[in-house]
Amino acid sequence: MSVVSTSALSSLEAVVSSLIGRSGGGDETQTKDDNDVSDDAVDSPPPPPPLPVRPNARGRLPSLPRVAGAAAAPWTPLSSPSPHKEGAAEVSAAVMAGLERKAAEAEARLRRKEEENTALRQQIESYHIRWLQHEIRIKSLEEAFHEQLASLQIDLACTQMVRDAAARRARDRESSLPPPPPCYRHGRVSGELHRKTSEDVAARRRGAAGRLGEEFRRGSQALESGAAALEKPTRPPWQPGVPNADAMGDLKKLGTQFRAWKKEYKARLRKAKAEIDRNRRRRSTCWI
């Protein structure tokens, strides 16, 4: 029993001593290697510093390298959409389509209204230009009418002056003539007949001139009343409007009436002047 114990102890001691020897030798070897490395580090220069990280073409820093042993995220299957969500998506798509269609229709209507407004604005401007042209024409016709009226008044005044002068000369001549000789039954005109004839001629002359003056006054009043009716403003002067067809018709009618009256008055004036000249010549050649 003691022999077995002793041999066992001796074997254990041998194993422990071998283990201790191995561990001591390893330490010496490790120490030697460390000394060699430290000597090499002292003899060799230090390594250069690492280069800085540069951004790529998009201006981003490069991503860190992935670890090869990193485990990927587990794959999760996609959940199938529910029918309620599908119906809501279809309804929202239909509503959006309807809104887009209504917006397109509203834009088309707005574009048509803008075009109509532009056309109406151009039409109003053309009407305003035509109205201004008609106003200018009416003013020119009024000026011509007033000029013609003034010339006719001057002619009438001249005719009246000539008539008065002729009547005055006739009266002076009659007053300067000697009394007529006594009336004979045969061959001579009596003084009463001569006086009656001269009175008839003067009355006829005065009647022709009076009728002419009355006709001139009546025509002047008619034309002035027509011009006053045209000059009356039917609308405020600041408000543009469309030319009235009735006003243009009245203006044309008044112009035609004025031209006809002017022609007739000139003819009557020439006739009255000729009659006055004829009576003057007759009185100048008359002898008793």
Dihedral of CA atoms 32, 33, 36, 38 in degrees, nearest 10, equals -110
Read off φ and ψ for residue 45, nearest 5 degrees: -70, 160
First to last CA, the chain: 221
For 140, counting Cβ atoms within 10 Å of its Cβ (0-12 exposed, 13-18 middle, 19+ buried), the class is exposed
- Residue 201: inside a domain, yes or no? yes
Residue 161 reports pLDDT greater than 80? yes
Q: How confident is the model at residue 260 (pLDDT cuts 50, 70, 90)?
A: confident
* DSSP per position, 128-196: HHHHHHHHHHHHHHHHHHHHHHHHHHHHHHHHHHHHHHHHHHHHHHHHHSPPPPPP-SSSS--HHHHHH
- Residue 149: inside a domain, yes or no? yes
Q: How confident is the model at residue 209 (pLDDT cuts 50, 70, 90)?
A: low
Can you give the pLDDT at residue 80? 57
- Residue 118: inside a domain, yes or no? no
- Residue 155: inside a domain, yes or no? yes
* Domain total of the chain: 1
- Residue 225: inside a domain, yes or no? yes
- Residue 55: inside a domain, yes or no? no
pLDDT in tens, 100-131: 999 999 999 999 999 999 999 999 999 999 99
- Which element (helix H / strand E) includes 26? helix 2-43
pLDDT in tens, 212-241: 666 666 766 666 666 666 555 444 444 444
Q: How confident is the model at residue 15 (pLDDT cuts 50, 70, 90)?
A: confident
pTM (two decimals)? 0.31
CA distances from 157 to 165, 209, 264, 267 (A): 12, 11, 18, 17
Mean pLDDT computed over 167-195: 57
pLDDT in tens, 63-80: 555 544 444 444 555 555
Residue 96 reports pLDDT greater than 80? yes
- Which element (helix H / strand E) includes 250? helix 245-285
- Residue 253: inside a domain, yes or no? yes
- Residue 38: inside a domain, yes or no? no
Residues spanned by the domain of 230: 137-179+189-285
Q: Which residue's structure tokens are 């209504």?
A: 102
DSSP 8-class letter at 59: S
* Burial 92-115, CB ≥16 within 10 A → b, else e: eeeeeeeeeeeeeeeeeeeeeeee
Q: Which residue's structure tokens are 């119906």?
A: 87
Percentage of the chain with pLDDT > 70? 46
Can you give the pLDDT at residue 69? 47
Farthest CA pair distance, the chain: 231
For the record, the structure tokens of 244 come out as 């009235």
